[in-house]
Amino acid sequence: MTELTQDRNEHLFRRVILVTGFILVAFFTITIRILFMQIIQGDKYLALSQNNRIRLVRIPAPRGIIYDRNRRVLSATRPSYQATIVLEDTGDLDREIDILSKILNIPADKLHEKIRSAPRWGPYREIILKKDLSFFEVAAIEELKLNLPGVNVEVGTVRSYPENELAAHVLGYVGEISEQQLHQEIYKNVHPGDQIGQFGLEKVCNRFLMGQDGGKQIEVDAWGREMQVLGYEEPKAGDNLVLTLDLELQKLAEELLKDKSGAIVALDPRTGEVLVMASRPSFNPNSFASGISQKEWSELIHNPLYPLQNRAIQSQYPPGSVFKIIVSIAGLEEGLLSESTAFYCGGSISIGRWNWKCWKKEGHGRISLHQAIVRSCNVFFYQAGAKIGAENIAHYAQLFGLGQPTGILLENEESGFIPTPAWKLKALKTKWYPGDTLSMSIGQGFISVTPLQAANLMATVANGGTLYCPQLVLCVLNSQGEVIQKISPLVIRRLNISRKTLDIVRLGMFGVVNEYGTGARAMLPDIKVAGKTGTAQMVSLRDHSEKDDLPDELKDHAWFCGYAPFENPEIAVAVFVEHGGKGGAACAPLAREIFLKYFQLKQERAAVKQGSPESTSTQGNPETLPQENPETSTLQENPETLPQENPETSTQKNTKGAPGHV
């Protein structure tokens, strides 16, 4: 018995020792782990604890405002409500998504996809499910708040374009930054999910318009709801832009182009400021502000009328008879034409096997240079062009900025095209024929220009030969409305065209409108207008039959380009209508309305200014432009990419290189 009892005691003792040892080892392990967590990794777990209770919330800076030249709002940022979710705070995510799907009217699978594809840059970060919530949606989420842990209604911002489609191609639109853009240096301070400019001035001037984000430190409860604000840093709003555009003129231009495809551009020939840049069809940039749907985007990009295309700078067309201005200047400057030069027009002229027609079947008879411009006689310019030569014509076209981008502060500007014999031989492997020169002489054939280039041509003729880079921004303001950068006009070059040459050509353009020429429908009763019509042929007819029976897509394009007043020009205009027919009928009346409105507004604003010395109008008057802070710098539009004036080469006349495609 004694031995049995002793064995039992020893076995029990060993078990006690084993259990005690296990407890001690476990206790020691737990102690070491606690020490490790509290001492070595204490900061890490403290941060996790604070992230669960205390969070940093970024407050995006309001985007800068875009004004017209008279401080009318074209683009701004308005407050809005947005639905957000923090995944770490949610309970049954599928159940919550089903509830939100009904409230937000978004399919559940779309919400799940939005969550999966949302950029994640740390825990407890909000994912935006929908922006610009309605009152009903806000109320519904708040009512079901206890059933939606992790879901919040936050105050956000949405870009707003109060005039909807107005100047959409100039203003552009904003959109969420893409994954590819996040890796670009210019967006190094932008966060995933942020809105940036994606098109137009919103994109080009994004660095001015974006401000500096603020933030707040908040304490939340177990449901992720804000309990109190522990710290706050105010966001700094972006800078504001004052454009050269005139809202009232822009409205009229777009109304005139309603139900048409085309463009209207108006410039101040004294400075190069763009008063109007209208392109139709257009689009509504508000559609992009809250996130455009895939269906809407697909409809836009597959629309056969190309509403996203800025026809003022991206569409290239034969200039038609507007180009006769260049031919006239080339002939006069080279001494190959004079004021007394005359040719006979019998309705057509034969060159080899080909018969080249005038628009007037019975012909104009013997006609002078002046009358050839007024009546737009093709046969006169066929003969003049053959005498002048394609190289001379191309040279002067390039001097006036054709065949090269104007340098305007917008992306994707087309250069147009001025053909030469050397280009044709190299590109098409064929020689230049006399017929090519004849086509070129009336603005047909290979030649093409944009409406902005045509307007700039008119402005250069009007101001006596100074070629400006078209200017879209007058100045940059800070959020307090103070001028921090003033944009100065940029001269590309000053053409050494003789006063006599310009007087002859301008008198011809005066006759186009005021001597019952092809542009008579642009005439104003009290203001003298000068201009030139153009018809860009789409198809060649074998006889002089009218083209009214052609389908719309084959009808000729229509142009009118001009300026006013004739004596001291203040505004130069180019009107282009796709498949509009004759420029005198389709475009001259539209230009007349632009001229009329400009001078009406000028008179009305002058009256207001007399009655109110504090008037802020900046209508084409250097004395009323926003004054520059003497401590700030003067910035030229996009100085890194615009052609800079070279004092040694900016005055040009007949110094010719090999003219080619610039």
* Secondary structure class of 361 (helix, strand, coil): coil
Query: Which pLDDT belongs to residue 578?
Result: 94
Name the nearest CA neighbour of 401 among 389, 418, 424.
418
What number of H helices and E strands is found in the chain? 23, 25
- For the domain spanning 60-243, the CATH number is 3.90.1310.10
Name the nearest CA neighbour of 378 among 351, 350, 355, 348.
348
Alpha carbon 646 to its chain centroid, in Å, reads: 28
Structure-token match 């209207």, residue found: 264
Q: Are 69 and 598 in contact (CB under 8 A)?
A: no
Query: Which pLDDT belongs to residue 520?
Result: 96
Query: Which pLDDT belongs to residue 533?
Result: 97
Query: Which pLDDT belongs to residue 638?
Result: 42
Query: Which pLDDT belongs to residue 35?
Result: 65
Greatest distance between any 2 Cα atoms in the chain: 151
Domain residue spans of the chain: 60-243, 255-303+311-652
Query: Which pLDDT belongs to residue 488?
Result: 95
Q: Are 597 and 266 in contact (CB under 8 A)?
A: no
How far apart (Å, rounded) are the C-alpha atoms in residues 470 and 243? 12
Rg of the chain on CA atoms, in Å: 35
Name the nearest CA neighbour of 659 among 410, 370, 443, 402.
402
The neighbour count for residue 177, using CB atoms within 10 Å, is 19
Query: Which pLDDT belongs to residue 654?
Result: 42
Query: Which pLDDT belongs to residue 46?
Result: 54
Query: Which pLDDT belongs to residue 290?
Result: 76
Q: Retrieve residue 382's tokens.
A: 């066929």
Query: Which pLDDT belongs to residue 225?
Result: 67
Give the residues of the chain that fall short of pLDDT 50: 541-545, 615-662
Strand pairing class (634-635; 483-487): parallel
Residues linked to residue 572 through DSSP beta bridges, in sequence order:
267, 563
- Name the CATH topology of 255-303+311-652: Beta-lactamase (3.40.710)
Query: Which pLDDT belongs to residue 2?
Result: 62
Query: Which pLDDT belongs to residue 199?
Result: 96
Structure-token match 């950068």, residue found: 485
Name the nearest CA neighbour of 126 among 153, 158, 146.
153
Query: Which pLDDT belongs to residue 87?
Result: 82
Residues linked to residue 448 through DSSP beta bridges, in sequence order:
417
Domains 60-243 and 255-303+311-652 share a fold: no
Q: Are 429 and 435 in contact (CB under 8 A)?
A: no
